[in-house]
Chain A
Protein backbone atom coordinates (compact mmCIF):
# COMPACT_ATOMS: atom_id res chain seq x y z
CA UNK A 1 0.00 0.00 0.00
CA UNK A 2 0.88 3.66 0.05
CA UNK A 3 1.21 6.05 2.98
CA UNK A 4 1.90 9.70 2.37
CA UNK A 5 2.38 12.31 5.11
CA UNK A 6 2.33 16.08 4.83
CA UNK A 7 1.83 18.79 7.45
CA UNK A 8 -1.81 19.86 7.62
CA UNK A 9 -1.28 23.61 7.76
CA UNK A 10 1.51 26.14 7.39
CA UNK A 11 1.61 29.92 7.62
CA UNK A 12 4.22 32.22 6.10
CA UNK A 13 4.74 35.88 5.35
CA UNK A 14 4.59 37.52 1.96
CA UNK A 15 8.06 37.68 0.40
CA UNK A 16 9.43 34.85 2.56
CA UNK A 17 10.47 31.29 1.70
CA UNK A 18 8.52 28.23 2.81
CA UNK A 19 9.32 24.52 2.56
CA UNK A 20 6.53 21.94 2.51
CA UNK A 21 7.66 18.42 3.30
CA UNK A 22 6.23 15.12 2.12
CA UNK A 23 7.26 11.67 3.29
CA UNK A 24 6.03 8.48 1.73
CA UNK A 25 6.10 4.75 2.23
CA UNK A 26 5.05 2.88 -0.88
CA UNK A 27 5.03 -0.62 -2.25
CA UNK A 28 6.12 0.72 -5.63
CA UNK A 29 7.40 4.08 -6.79
CA UNK A 30 7.78 5.72 -10.17
CA UNK A 31 7.65 9.43 -9.50
CA UNK A 32 6.33 12.16 -7.27
CA UNK A 33 4.11 15.06 -8.24
CA UNK A 34 3.25 18.29 -6.50
CA UNK A 35 -0.06 19.96 -7.31
CA UNK A 36 -1.48 23.28 -6.21
CA UNK A 37 -5.16 23.55 -5.38
CA UNK A 38 -6.95 26.80 -4.63
CA UNK A 39 -10.11 26.55 -2.57
CA UNK A 40 -13.02 25.18 -4.59
CA UNK A 41 -10.91 24.59 -7.67
CA UNK A 42 -9.20 21.65 -9.33
CA UNK A 43 -5.55 20.83 -8.65
CA UNK A 44 -2.98 22.09 -11.14
CA UNK A 45 0.44 20.65 -11.86
CA UNK A 46 3.48 22.22 -10.21
CA UNK A 47 6.35 19.78 -10.46
CA UNK A 48 7.42 16.21 -11.14
CA UNK A 49 10.43 14.36 -9.73
CA UNK A 50 11.57 10.97 -10.91
CA UNK A 51 15.26 11.08 -10.01
CA UNK A 52 16.93 12.25 -6.82
CA UNK A 53 17.76 15.90 -6.63
CA UNK A 54 16.33 19.34 -7.06
CA UNK A 55 14.06 20.50 -9.88
CA UNK A 56 13.74 24.26 -10.18
CA UNK A 57 10.98 26.09 -11.98
CA UNK A 58 10.83 29.80 -11.34
CA UNK A 59 9.83 30.55 -7.75
CA UNK A 60 9.03 26.88 -7.10
CA UNK A 61 11.51 24.06 -6.59
CA UNK A 62 10.97 20.44 -5.66
CA UNK A 63 13.42 17.96 -4.17
CA UNK A 64 13.32 14.19 -4.05
CA UNK A 65 15.29 11.57 -2.12
CA UNK A 66 14.06 8.13 -3.10
CA UNK A 67 16.22 6.32 -0.55
CA UNK A 68 14.68 8.37 2.26
CA UNK A 69 11.13 8.43 0.87
CA UNK A 70 11.19 12.19 1.15
CA UNK A 71 10.33 15.19 -0.95
CA UNK A 72 9.86 18.88 -0.37
CA UNK A 73 8.36 21.77 -2.26
CA UNK A 74 10.15 25.08 -1.83
CA UNK A 75 8.30 28.30 -2.55
CA UNK A 76 10.35 31.50 -2.76
CA UNK A 77 9.29 35.14 -2.75
CA UNK A 78 5.87 34.22 -1.48
CA UNK A 79 2.89 36.07 -2.87
CA UNK A 80 -0.63 36.29 -1.50
CA UNK A 81 -1.88 34.22 -4.45
CA UNK A 82 0.27 31.32 -3.22
CA UNK A 83 -2.27 30.76 -0.44
CA UNK A 84 -3.60 27.34 -1.42
CA UNK A 85 -3.46 23.67 -0.64
CA UNK A 86 -0.38 21.78 -1.87
CA UNK A 87 -0.83 18.11 -2.66
CA UNK A 88 1.95 15.56 -2.80
CA UNK A 89 1.16 12.54 -5.01
CA UNK A 90 3.11 9.34 -5.65
CA UNK A 91 2.73 7.36 -8.86
CA UNK A 92 3.31 3.62 -9.20
CA UNK A 93 5.61 1.99 -11.76
CA UNK A 94 4.37 0.48 -14.98
CA UNK A 95 1.41 1.39 -17.09
CA UNK A 96 -0.63 2.71 -14.20
CA UNK A 97 1.48 5.85 -13.99
CA UNK A 98 -1.57 8.06 -13.60
CA UNK A 99 -2.99 6.06 -10.71
CA UNK A 100 -1.60 8.48 -8.17
CA UNK A 101 -1.95 8.22 -4.43
CA UNK A 102 -2.36 11.59 -2.77
CA UNK A 103 -1.43 12.96 0.61
CA UNK A 104 -4.09 14.94 2.46
CA UNK A 105 -2.52 18.21 1.37
CA UNK A 106 -0.89 21.12 3.17
CA UNK A 107 -2.92 24.31 3.45
CA UNK A 108 -0.57 27.27 3.13
CA UNK A 109 -1.70 30.68 4.30
CA UNK A 110 0.38 33.65 3.19
CA UNK A 111 0.00 36.74 5.38
CA UNK A 112 0.94 40.32 4.50
Chain B
Protein backbone atom coordinates (compact mmCIF):
# COMPACT_ATOMS: atom_id res chain seq x y z
CA UNK B 1 0.00 0.00 0.00
CA UNK B 2 1.28 3.45 -0.86
CA UNK B 3 1.44 6.02 1.86
CA UNK B 4 3.37 8.16 4.31
CA UNK B 5 5.07 6.64 7.33
CA UNK B 6 6.02 8.77 10.29
CA UNK B 7 7.95 7.69 13.35
CA UNK B 8 7.92 7.73 16.24
CA UNK B 9 4.27 8.24 17.00
CA UNK B 10 5.03 9.59 20.47
CA UNK B 11 8.25 11.26 21.54
CA UNK B 12 9.43 12.89 24.73
CA UNK B 13 12.23 15.42 24.80
CA UNK B 14 14.16 16.97 27.62
CA UNK B 15 15.02 20.62 27.61
CA UNK B 16 18.07 21.32 25.44
CA UNK B 17 17.83 18.14 23.37
CA UNK B 18 17.51 17.86 19.63
CA UNK B 19 15.11 15.24 18.30
CA UNK B 20 14.53 13.97 14.78
CA UNK B 21 11.18 12.90 13.36
CA UNK B 22 11.24 10.47 10.48
CA UNK B 23 9.04 10.70 7.39
CA UNK B 24 9.09 8.24 4.50
CA UNK B 25 6.79 8.07 1.47
CA UNK B 26 6.34 5.55 -1.33
CA UNK B 27 3.84 7.55 -3.37
CA UNK B 28 6.55 8.78 -5.75
CA UNK B 29 5.61 12.39 -4.98
CA UNK B 30 8.20 15.08 -5.56
CA UNK B 31 6.85 17.49 -2.94
CA UNK B 32 6.94 16.89 0.80
CA UNK B 33 5.93 19.04 3.75
CA UNK B 34 6.12 19.35 7.51
CA UNK B 35 3.24 20.93 9.38
CA UNK B 36 2.81 21.69 13.05
CA UNK B 37 -0.56 21.60 14.79
CA UNK B 38 -1.31 23.01 18.22
CA UNK B 39 -4.52 22.23 20.12
CA UNK B 40 -7.58 23.86 18.58
CA UNK B 41 -5.61 25.28 15.69
CA UNK B 42 -5.05 24.55 12.07
CA UNK B 43 -1.84 23.38 10.45
CA UNK B 44 1.13 25.70 10.11
CA UNK B 45 3.86 25.03 7.57
CA UNK B 46 7.36 24.49 8.94
CA UNK B 47 9.38 23.44 5.86
CA UNK B 48 8.69 22.07 2.43
CA UNK B 49 10.67 20.47 -0.35
CA UNK B 50 9.72 20.24 -4.00
CA UNK B 51 12.72 18.24 -5.15
CA UNK B 52 15.63 16.25 -3.80
CA UNK B 53 18.43 18.33 -2.27
CA UNK B 54 16.26 21.43 -2.11
CA UNK B 55 13.92 22.77 0.57
CA UNK B 56 12.38 26.07 1.66
CA UNK B 57 11.28 27.58 4.93
CA UNK B 58 7.61 27.76 5.68
CA UNK B 59 5.87 30.15 8.03
CA UNK B 60 7.39 28.88 11.30
CA UNK B 61 10.82 27.46 10.41
CA UNK B 62 12.76 28.92 13.35
CA UNK B 63 14.15 26.19 15.61
CA UNK B 64 13.68 23.45 13.01
CA UNK B 65 15.86 21.91 10.33
CA UNK B 66 15.26 19.41 7.51
CA UNK B 67 17.11 17.49 4.83
CA UNK B 68 16.04 15.93 1.56
CA UNK B 69 18.75 13.55 0.44
CA UNK B 70 16.34 11.04 -1.07
CA UNK B 71 12.99 11.47 -2.79
CA UNK B 72 11.35 9.13 -0.30
CA UNK B 73 12.62 10.71 2.89
CA UNK B 74 12.15 14.12 4.56
CA UNK B 75 13.23 14.05 8.23
CA UNK B 76 12.58 16.97 10.56
CA UNK B 77 14.89 17.90 13.43
CA UNK B 78 13.43 19.88 16.29
CA UNK B 79 16.39 21.70 17.78
CA UNK B 80 16.93 23.11 21.24
CA UNK B 81 16.40 26.56 19.71
CA UNK B 82 12.69 25.79 19.33
CA UNK B 83 11.30 27.29 22.54
CA UNK B 84 7.89 25.68 22.52
CA UNK B 85 8.19 22.37 20.67
CA UNK B 86 5.31 20.48 22.30
CA UNK B 87 2.89 19.87 19.42
CA UNK B 88 1.51 17.40 16.91
CA UNK B 89 3.75 17.18 13.84
CA UNK B 90 2.41 16.07 10.48
CA UNK B 91 4.40 15.10 7.44
CA UNK B 92 2.73 15.12 4.04
CA UNK B 93 3.42 14.74 0.36
CA UNK B 94 1.37 16.14 -2.48
CA UNK B 95 0.43 15.31 -6.02
CA UNK B 96 0.12 17.82 -8.88
CA UNK B 97 -3.31 19.03 -7.67
CA UNK B 98 -1.93 19.99 -4.29
CA UNK B 99 -3.89 17.35 -2.41
CA UNK B 100 -1.95 16.51 0.71
CA UNK B 101 -1.42 12.92 1.80
CA UNK B 102 -0.59 12.83 5.48
CA UNK B 103 1.29 10.49 7.74
CA UNK B 104 -0.25 9.49 11.07
CA UNK B 105 1.59 12.22 12.90
CA UNK B 106 4.17 12.43 15.68
CA UNK B 107 3.24 13.86 19.06
CA UNK B 108 6.21 15.54 20.72
CA UNK B 109 6.14 16.44 24.40
CA UNK B 110 8.83 18.37 26.22
CA UNK B 111 9.46 17.18 29.75
Contact = CB atoms under 8 A, between A and B. Distances in A.
Interface residues of A, number: 28
Interface of B is mostly: strand
B71 to A, nearest CB: 15
A98 B43 contact: no
A99 B79 CA distance: 23
Most chain A Cβ neighbours within 10 Å, of B45, B96, B98: B98
Given A96-B50, A97-B94, A99-B33, A105 B102 contact: no
Contacts of B48: 96, 98-99
A101 B58 CA distance: 10
A97 B104 CA distance: 22
Interface of A: 4, 8, 30-31, 33, 35, 40-45, 48, 87, 89, 91, 95-105, 107
